[in-house]
Amino acid sequence: MVEAIQAIILGLFQGLTEFLPVSSSGHLAILHKVLCFETESNLFFDVILHLGTLIAVVLFYRNSIIDIIKGGMFGIKSILSKKGIKESFFSSADSKLFSLIIIGSIPTAIIGLTFKDFFEGLADNLLYVGLALLTTAVLLVLFELKKKSFKKINEMSAADSIIIGIVQGIAIIPGISRSGSTISTAKLLGIDKETAAQFSFLLSLPAISGAFLLSMKDAIKEGFVYEHYILLGFITAVITGYFSLKLLIWMIKKSNMYFFAIYCLILAVFAMSY
């Protein structure tokens, strides 16, 4: 019963914090310490929670994802027809978005594969988690201070995508919000805030999928035992993830990120003093 309650709590926090700009990894690091939730299936459980939020973003952006796939297929078909790269992958909004996601995913993958163990090891020290949460708070304030942002997808450059991809890779650090850091960076690059949010979450799909596969491989290597509470955590993460994504999009339209900045600041102080 205790494990089931812990699973629901962790699934709730994972779903809420994966997309809200407050760092899911930071919250999980703090909760693992505070709740002493250390079991043999701990790694596998975290993997399943991330799978839940992956499904949530796929459900939320299902129509955009279909369009992106069509854009990618159009580009591949054009290349096979011996047309140029620009004409094939940058001639329409869908094919360009497909290309920008691929481009942005490259630096994320390089950083993730190179520094994954080091960054994730920082979760054992809440001082580092607190400092990372403080960084997230600063980025959210900068998001609000940046007033002139107007670029849409068709005005984004490959350089924009690379920079956002680098930031997404660095966001592996527990306490740095992936959504908060990438959306803030995109807006600082002059990208319209709603476009920044859309691109951020679509760019997260390859990253979350890759992290899921790598973590699953590690979980299988270590060996894991399935427990009934894992399913409870998974379902909770899917439901709360979907609705937290809707909430964030609404709040971005209203431009009210100071609330999250204050929350991250308070949580940072708590983590550094725990």
If phi over 0 gives left and psi between -120 and 50 gives alpha, with beta otherwise, what is residue 23?
left
Q: Contact at 8 Å (CB) between 168 and 255? A: no
Domain range enclosing 90: 2-273
pLDDT digits (tens, 9 = 90+) for 67-88: 999 999 999 999 988 888 888 8
Domain count of the fold of the chain: 1
pTM: 0.89
pLDDT digits (tens, 9 = 90+) for 162-183: 999 999 999 999 999 999 999 9
**CA-to-CA separations, 16 to 28, 59, 127, in angstroms, rounded:** 11, 16, 23
What tokens appear for 221 in the block? 């290597």
Which residue stretches of the chain are H helix? 2-19, 24-35, 42-60, 62-80, 85-89, 93-121, 126-145, 158-170, 178-188, 193-222, 228-254, 258-273
Per-residue model confidence as pLDDT tens for the chain (274 residues): 667 888 888 888 888 888 899 998 888 788 778 766 554 446 677 778 888 989 999 999 999 999 999 999 999 999 988 888 888 888 888 999 999 999 999 999 999 899 988 998 899 899 999 999 999 999 999 999 998 889 999 899 999 999 999 999 999 999 999 999 999 999 999 999 999 999 999 999 998 888 888 777 777 776 666 667 788 989 999 999 999 999 999 999 887 899 999 999 999 999 999 8
Q: What angle, rounded to 10 degrees, do the helices at 178-188 and 193-222 form?
A: 150
- In this structure, which amino acid lies at residue 248? L
> Which of the 8 DSSP states describes residue 2?
H
